[in-house]
Copies of this chain bind each other. A is one copy, B any other.
Amino acid sequence: MAQEGVQNGGAEKVEPVKFTAVKPQLLVEAPKAADAVQFYKSAFGAVEVGRTLHPKRKAEQELPHILSAQLELAGSIILVSDIAENSTPVKIERGGCVLCLETEDVEAAVDKAVSAGGVAEGEITEDDGACCGGRVGKVKDPYGYVWLICSPAKKCSDVKA
Interface residues of A (CB under 8 A from B): 15-29, 44-45, 48-52, 54-55, 67-70, 73-76, 78-79, 81, 83, 85, 89-105, 108-109, 112, 128, 130-133, 143-146, 148, 152-153, 155-161
Contacts and interface: CB of A to CB of B under 8 A. Distances in A.
Contacts of A148: 25
B98 A90 contact: yes
Contacts of A28: 95
A128 B67 contact: yes
Q: Which of A52, A69, A75, A133 has the most CB of B within 10 A?
A: A52
Contacts of A105: 15, 17-18
A69 B22 CA distance: 17
Given A20-B152, A27-B97, 16 more contacts: A19-B74, A20-B104, A21-B76, A21-B102, A21-B153, A22-B99, A50-B157, A50-B159, A68-B130, A68-B132, A70-B132, A70-B156, A79-B100, A89-B93, A90-B96, A91-B144
